[in-house]
Structure 1
Amino acid sequence: MNEHVAVVDLGYGDAGKGTVVDALCAASERRAVLRFNGGAQAAHNVITEAGRHHTFAQFGSGTLRGVPTHLTRFMVVDPLALAGEAAALGNPFHLLTVDGDALLATPWHRGANRRRELARGGSRHGSCGMGVGETMAYALEHPDAPRVSDVLSPARLRRRLAAVRDALGDGPPVDDVVDAFTAFGEAVRIVGDDCTERLLTEGPCVFEGAQGVLLDEWRGWHPHTTWSTTTFDNVAALCPDFLRLGVVRTYTTRHGAGPFVTEAELGLAEAHNGRDPWQGEFRTGHFDAVAHRYAVEVAGGVDALAITHLDAPDRSPGLRICTSYRIDGGTWDRIEPGPPRDLAHQERLGERLRRAVPGECHRPDDWSAAIATHLGAPVLLESTGPRSTDKRMYPLGVPALT
């Protein structure tokens, strides 16, 4: 696989993007892992062959293999969270470059995010509580929102951080944050937008996405979505030619509130996923071929699939693939995409999906082949466990669709 690969989750997140990126880095030499959306709210679990575990947030999931990370301009960078993650990894700052145009998440963004979510009471949106959405919202209203390059100019950084503090409310002293962010600027290499182009010319790279297409800011079920473009669109803005790899589990999951048509108790407990104080419960359900087909369509198609948790059907005899919904007296086997950037439409769609129940369901003999057929793409990677040794890679088109 001597080409660039973009890894995108076709569900609500948590499908295994981290372990897939790690496996791609183990299978062939990679120049870098490029993060192209989201921020410190990512939770990509990787377990090495030797058993070392790390949950990646801002560092790329190839870090344990010595593959450099580049945080592109589409990232929301949280220097304080990054420092904690770096410490857990042994401070591999030599493997990290950060685009100076990326937005900075601050303690005031995080505080405002959490106050807003708490005020919603029982109607929470399912935020991760990390302030990523608040950072994006602030930047839309304030052209002088703090960016990574500001850490190289303490006077400008202090002015912009003070403006955030004044707009969003109480938090730590501005000077303390200035000091911490300035130290971040001394530890990392801050680069221009040409760094992405240079990395892409130096060798095959992996683009690592965050969250999932069904949480996309424009295509998910608003308002239970992220302030981030989770499709391949950001990758396409950075790279003209890449393989589109969609990641799915053999069962569908959702962390937090929002419509979930195929939700069911399947007896599939997870070591690294559970109730989160901000997102809420970790929910499971039958494989939702209808929603995943929608994700493929609104993402612009996929070239191949990575299917994880192929051990789950053996552990859950009741697990099925859902291929249609019953809704409002009719049957849906396709969710028709709405107009671009129409949040009112997405909210109405979400309300309809709350009334939907599974229609036709079946249990296949060959889960990988069945999912490939339902989503119309060949399988590149199969995973039966968390380590790279639990993965099987195929030449594209093998096994063929059946």
Structure 2
Amino acid sequence: MPVSAFLSLDPAAYLLPAARPRPRPPAPRLRLRRVVVLRAASVSAVAEESSAAAAARGRLESLSQVAGVLGTQWGDEGKGKLVDILAQRFDVVARCQGGANAGHTIYNSEGKKFSLHLVPSGILNENTQCVIGNGAVVHLPGFFKEIDGLESNGVSCKGRILVSDRAHLLFDFHQVVDGLREVELGNSFIGTTKRGIGPCYSNKVIRNGLRVSDLRHMDTFGAKLNTLLKDAATRFKGFEYSSKTLKEEVEKYERFAERLGPYITDTVHFMNESILQKKKILVEGGQATMLDIDFGTYPFVTSSSPSAGGICTGLGIAPRTLGDIIGVVKAYTTRVGSGPFPTELLGKTGDLLRASGMEFGTTTGRPRRCGWLDIVALRYCCQINGFSSLNLTKLDVLTGLKEIKLGTSYCTEDGKAIDSFPADLDLLEQTKVKYEALPGWEEDISSVRDYDDLPETARLYVERIEELVGIPVHYIGVGPGRDALIYK
């Protein structure tokens, strides 16, 4: 049963009809005993279902007015699914950073799959207002393609998406530059999605980028765009453009400006007014803390701040307005692209996790590198973000493994303990991981909805993670569907 169905359940629906007086049946005692047993089983099932519904309702109703959902690893943890579920209890869902390099796969109540990149994952909930904040970068051709795809599948976007007038515009040439930059780096390439995110943020930081608000001034738009193109041509020998190319691009953006007009909003004002009006706001992070420009495995990181600080800078809301921040973590670890990965599994177990978990990028389709859950990295992310709780996803993928390991600590080659996640990549590449082995389970848990119904060894695994990081696990994913979630 979908979570939305649990939330709308009326307790009165579970009341058994009043017993009617009837003559004592002449049936044997054995048959009467059978009826009693069946009724007891039915009442037990109702109680169990009600318990799961109550757990869901309790968790959702207890969330703060402004809450956030952030990744705790190297992305792809399943943030979109949790945002989609939680959005049923929120008025606004906002993206605060990143761009179309964030790929979120979610399923509607009928089980239909949607792959979102820039549009917030709350879009499937028809009463939710979606916001793309000032900290994001917006590729308009991709944005409109995404909207057209949603509309063609029956998801209304009209009047439901607001785009910050302070957000920076990402152009096609940024994607070309992204590829040229990777080629230039050779064997030291970062492994970006080649969506132009880094070059766009680079222009933002050196202060020659174009923002959504520039679309209101098309008389000067061409000159500003020419400055950007000229800069790229000077920097990269393989990049060429002409006056004809510039003219065509300006004409294209004149059409985009007209279409985007109804979406453009001062979202800083909108967000703060929403807070004053006591509306419930959910912030959806892209990427993850281990890809943060400051805290991640630099330079193999993204170009923005997908940690808690990025919520305030990316939306223009004050830190004191933030309440619950939920960290989303896979029951194992994955990474796409280059960069250190201490708990990576290069053998059959890694291949098994990749196949069972369908670990291929939503945005690029690239196979993800897989490994055991890295507790050192997770604890580091918990310190940075101050998570109130965790969402452990894809626990079902571990089913069938006889033994499951947790990377609990790091040490140098000579055995010296490393206290935290190191910034030095040379040290990180040489780091040895100490593991703790736990027993696995064979039972299929994809249909489990009550925590107590999980196999004992699965509960032991969840509770050991809680113990090691000091943060409670309140949500457990056991499948891709909306209803495949356990509220603990």
Instruction: Work out whether the TM-score is over 0.5.
Output: yes
Residue segments in structure 2 that go unaligned for 5+ positions in a row: 1-60, 234-239, 440-456
> Residues of 2 paired with 1:96 and 1:118: CA distance?
36
- Which residue does the alignment assign to 1:52? 112
Q: Does the CA-based 8 Å contact 2:131-2:267 persist in structure 1?
A: no
Instruction: Give yes or no for the alignment of 1:106 onto 2:171.
Output: yes
More divergent stretch after superposition (320-329 vs 249-258): 320-329
Residue number among 330, 334, 348 corresponding to 1:249 in the alignment: 330
- Which residue does the alignment assign to 1:20? 82
Q: Please state how far the C-alpha of 1:235 moved relative to its aligned partner.
A: 1.9
> Residues of 1 paired with 2:374 and 2:158: CA distance?
40
Taking the TM superposition and a 5 Å limit, the aligned residue runs for 1:123-162 are: 123-142=188-207, 144-162=208-226
> Residues of 1 paired with 2:275 and 2:462: CA distance?
31
Deviation per CA, 1:324-343, whole angstroms, max 9, x where unpaired?
Answer: 12323124463157xxxxxx
**SS of the residue 1:97 aligns to:** strand
- Which residue does the alignment assign to 2:308? 232
Residues 208 and 192 of structure 1, relative CA distance in 2, 3 Å threshold: closer
Residues 353 and 158 of structure 1, relative CA distance in 2, 3 Å threshold: same
- Which residue does the alignment assign to 2:21? none
Instruction: Give yes or no for the alignment of 1:215 onto 2:291.
Output: yes
Q: Please state how far the C-alpha of 1:181 moved relative to its aligned partner.
A: 3.2
Residue number among 399, 421, 439 corresponding to 1:314 in the alignment: 399
> Residues of 2 paired with 1:156 and 1:271: CA distance?
49
Residues 370 and 60 of structure 1, relative CA distance in 2, 3 Å threshold: same
Q: Which has the higher Rg, Structure 1 or Structure 2?
A: 2
**SS of the residue 1:307 aligns to:** strand
> Residues of 1 paired with 2:184 and 2:97: CA distance?
27
Q: Please state how far the C-alpha of 1:318 moved relative to its aligned partner.
A: 4.3
Q: Does the CA-based 8 Å contact 1:99-1:190 persist in structure 2?
A: yes
Residues 193 and 111 of structure 1, relative CA distance in 2, 3 Å threshold: same
- Which residue does the alignment assign to 1:388? 482
Deviation per CA, 1:251-282, whole angstroms, max 9, x where unpaired?
Answer: 00101110001001430226764279979541
Larger helix share, 1 or 2: 2
Q: Does the CA-based 8 Å contact 2:73-2:378 persist in structure 1?
A: yes
> Residues of 1 paired with 2:276 and 2:286: CA distance?
24
| Cα-Cα RMSD | 2.2
Q: Does the CA-based 8 Å contact 2:361-2:368 persist in structure 1?
A: yes
- Which residue does the alignment assign to 1:362? 437
Q: Please state how far the C-alpha of 1:150 moved relative to its aligned partner.
A: 0.9
Q: Which amino acid aligns with 1:70?
A: V
Q: Does the CA-based 8 Å contact 1:320-1:361 persist in structure 2?
A: yes
Q: Does the CA-based 8 Å contact 2:344-2:369 persist in structure 1?
A: yes
**SS of the residue 1:274 aligns to:** coil
TM normalised by structure 2 equals 0.73
Q: Please state how far the C-alpha of 1:247 moved relative to its aligned partner.
A: 0.7
> Residues of 2 paired with 1:117 and 1:278: CA distance?
15
Q: Which amino acid aligns with 2:132?
A: L
Deviation per CA, 1:221-247, whole angstroms, max 9, x where unpaired?
Answer: 111011110110022452423211111
- Which residue does the alignment assign to 1:293? 379
Instruction: Give yes or no for the alignment of 1:121 onto 2:186.
Output: yes
| Residue correspondences, number | 380
Q: Please state how far the C-alpha of 1:74 moved relative to its aligned partner.
A: 0.8
> Residues of 2 paired with 1:85 and 1:119: CA distance?
31
Q: Please state how far the C-alpha of 1:97 moved relative to its aligned partner.
A: 0.5
Deviation per CA, 1:339-364, whole angstroms, max 9, x where unpaired?
Answer: xxxxxxx3xx2221111232132226
Deviation per CA, 1:80-105, whole angstroms, max 9, x where unpaired?
Answer: 11011111110614210011111111
Q: Does the CA-based 8 Å contact 2:103-2:363 persist in structure 1?
A: no
Q: Does the CA-based 8 Å contact 1:35-1:71 persist in structure 2?
A: yes
Residue number among 168, 189, 192 corresponding to 2:264 in the alignment: 189
Residues 234 and 276 of structure 1, relative CA distance in 2, 3 Å threshold: closer
> Residues of 2 paired with 1:271 and 1:292: CA distance?
20
List 4+ stretches of structure 1 deviating above 3 A.
Answer: 169-173, 270-273, 275-281, 315-319, 331-334
> Residues of 2 paired with 1:48 and 1:250: CA distance?
23
Q: Please state how far the C-alpha of 1:21 moved relative to its aligned partner.
A: 0.5
